Structure 1
Amino acid sequence: MAIKPLALQRGDTVGIVTLGSPLAAETINARIAYLRSLGLNVVVGRHVYGANGFLAASAQERAEDLMGMFADPAVRLILPSRGGVGVEGILPYLDFRFIRMNPKIVSGYSDITVLLNALTQLSDIVTLHSLLLIDFKPGTPPYNFEQFFAATSSVAVPRPIVNPPALPLVSKVPGNVSGPIVGGNLTSLTGTLGTPFEIDTRGKILLLEEVHEPVNTVYRYLEQLRLAGKFDDCRGILAGQCTDCPDAYGVSYSDVVDNYIVPLGKPTISGLASGHGEYKAALPLGALANLNATEAELTLLEPAVTYG
């Protein structure tokens, strides 16, 4: 069973890190102010405000910021400012054994996907495919905060993951399976193939979502995962949203799901609100879930956190 970090409570400390691309200082400061308005304390990594081209700092410097948050006993939640690119570069500099001994809640999506799955696989801790620092702002859909704080502050299970009413989950391939959730951003997952941090889908429920990529590129990445055996090994598939993904040659993302994921024959639901979409479910990676694809239902069987 995966290790669960301690639950988040009012007055706890959040550690802010920038692990990939830079984010404007005024945006970071505004989001930190919002976190504080929620009754949370904040500490900031040395390179949070850094900017070195399309990266915030060197891979080693960004990794040092992250390890510093795991080493700080006051920090309960580690919240990356954004994703972007470059998160995979920090992985060789992380001490996964130390992280296993000092588990914290780590939340994010986008390029943070590679970190979440690496921590789950190599440190055996539950991570959270959910909000980034940039999402803590006025006007964020209440659904997102309800999902986030239900996952980070409560141990109540089973917990159904219910999409907003306007976005019903859709059954694509019937079946009923259980297993830990893994996955996230398709581009980022594909980038781990052939590395020591390659995603392990064996016996898992595989979550996939994407943003901005034309659907012919989405198809290419799905084929890479298929050829790498990642669909052979998984128990079921959560086809999340493809946010702002242009059609290609008259083919839509829905067509790609129907033509290339459905024939895999794994229990599958589509339309899950996650990642880059406006609405973001909070999905604990590494925790046991039930995928009832016949009824288009996803239920978390394990909490993401513990009360200790």
Structure 2
Amino acid sequence: MGGVRPDLTVPRKLSAGDRVAVVSPSFAAPGMFPAIHERAMRRLRDDFGLEPVEYPTTRRLGAAPEDRAADLMAAFADPGVRAVLASIGGDDQLTVLPFLDPAVVTGDPKPFCGFSDNTNLLNWLWNQGVVSYHGGSTMMHLGRVGGPHPVSAASLRAALFGREDLALHEVDVFSEEELDWNEPASLDTPSPTAAAPGWSWHQPDRVVTAPTWGGNLEILHWNLAANRWIRPAGDYAGCVLLLETSEEMPPAAEVYRMLRNAGERGLLEQFPAIVVGTAKASSLERRTEPAERERYRADQRAAILRALDRYNASAMVVFDVDLGHTDPQWILPYGGLVTVDGPARRITAHF
């Protein structure tokens, strides 16, 4: 086992009938797209046996950071609420963190699920010594046409209810096509799918079982720029790094620069194993053709390897794992243990 944070607390698991907070620490998408949100809430009740609890800013567009933080603290402070789920990501959650009270969270640790801009909260909780879960947006995954993908549903169940290991596997098809939620047809139209790229391994010569850290690369870079909630580089030694990029589709040159900056800080060299999500290569704002998507992902893989060649040449890397902005999504422990088994070409999440 690697890592220097064996002290991270795994929150207790849920039981059927438990109340769970649904919050919007970033963008209040439930207020703009209530039909998608209501469908997600029904599935929490009907498919997962949980009772969602909303807060004043869950649907309030443009809520102040102080108000969003107050709702988070109310959710974590309520002994009757047993988990906290983010509705979706956004772009300014960094401004919420200064208003959070660590004592509230550590006094009654609860599972938190989110990704993208919620990397801010995942990282903040890691700093408080609390394990959380990367993934599981209610709008994106529970509100999905046809219900949550089996991969997303199984791993969300493991995060909330399970105490066993979950072996990840490759998928045959995936989606990166966004539906326009402003269009009524999006309520009943599944996202188009395409053949998944499949996992690719770089230097699969070891077995690493360690706590995870990381998340969305752009958000991690903002944390580095703000110089808050980033610990001394040695505190991450031996951890498994999770990396994924957003629908803003940063170019390969920018991906390299962000990783270079982490390398110059001594951070990139700390991770013996890195798990990289399938890069989302199309969006509502920028529709791309299949050949362009393949080039984008190939260029991003090359940029990551270029940075590692300079700052962590011995790292083992798995590319194109379904853990980011594409669908389906594996919800993974954040601060909890993951095993990356290179010789067996296997990844296991320990819940």
| Structure 2 counterpart of 1:214, from 239, 251, 255 | 251
1:250, distance to aligned residue in structure 2 (A): 11
Specify the alignment match of 1:227 in structure 2. 264
* Most deviating of 283-292 and 26-35: 26-35
Specify the alignment match of 1:171 in structure 2. 201
| Structure 2 counterpart of 1:257, from 287, 304, 309 | 304
TM-score using structure 1 length: 0.88
Specify the alignment match of 2:38 in structure 1. 29
Specify the alignment match of 1:306 in structure 2. none
| Structure 2 counterpart of 1:285, from 324, 334, 349 | 334
Tell me if structure 1 keeps the 8 A contact 2:256–2:304.
no
1:230 and 1:84 map into 2 onto residues whose CA distance is 25
The within-5 A match list for 1:15-54 is: 15-23=21-29, 24-26=32-34, 27-38=36-47, 39-52=49-62
Tell me if structure 2 keeps the 8 A contact 1:206–1:236.
yes
SS in 2 for 1:252: helix
1:146, distance to aligned residue in structure 2 (A): 1.1
Query: Gaps spanning 5+ residues in structure 1: where?
Result: 304-308
Specify the alignment match of 2:157 in structure 1. 149
Specify the alignment match of 1:95 in structure 2. 101
Tell me if structure 1 keeps the 8 A contact 2:281–2:296.
no
- The 1:171–1:251 alpha-carbon spacing in structure 2 relative to 1, beyond 3 Å, is closer
* Most deviating of 86-95 and 18-27: 18-27
1:262, distance to aligned residue in structure 2 (A): 5.4
Tell me if structure 2 keeps the 8 A contact 1:25–1:49.
no
Tell me if structure 1 keeps the 8 A contact 2:13–2:160.
yes
TM-score using structure 2 length: 0.78
CA RMSD, 1 decimal: 2.2
Tell me if structure 2 keeps the 8 A contact 1:173–1:294.
no
Specify the alignment match of 1:130 in structure 2. 135
1:202, distance to aligned residue in structure 2 (A): 2.5
1:115 aligns with 2:121: yes
Specify the alignment match of 2:223 in structure 1. 192
Tell me if structure 2 keeps the 8 A contact 1:62–1:90.
yes
1:202 aligns with 2:202: no
SS in 2 for 1:171: strand
* Most deviating of 285-294 and 101-110: 285-294
Q: How many residues align?
A: 296
SS in 1 for 2:278: strand
1:271 aligns with 2:280: no
- The 1:171–1:295 alpha-carbon spacing in structure 2 relative to 1, beyond 3 Å, is farther
2:230 and 2:260 map into 1 onto residues whose CA distance is 16
* Most deviating of 244-253 and 161-170: 244-253
SS in 2 for 1:46: coil
Tell me if structure 1 keeps the 8 A contact 2:274–2:318.
yes
SS in 2 for 1:113: helix
2:33 and 2:328 map into 1 onto residues whose CA distance is 25
Aligned residue identity for 2:281:
D
Aligned residue identity for 2:160:
T
Residues 48-78 of structure 1 show CA distances to partners (whole Å, capped at 9, x for unaligned) of 11112xxxx1111100000000011111121
| Structure 1 counterpart of 2:13, from 7, 10, 27 | 7
1:244, distance to aligned residue in structure 2 (A): 1.4
2:345 and 2:308 map into 1 onto residues whose CA distance is 16
Query: Gaps spanning 5+ residues in structure 2: where?
Result: 1-6, 174-195, 283-291
Aligned residue identity for 1:94:
L
Aligned residue identity for 1:74:
G
1:25, distance to aligned residue in structure 2 (A): 4.5
- The 1:84–1:250 alpha-carbon spacing in structure 2 relative to 1, beyond 3 Å, is closer
Tell me if structure 1 keeps the 8 A contact 2:239–2:272.
yes
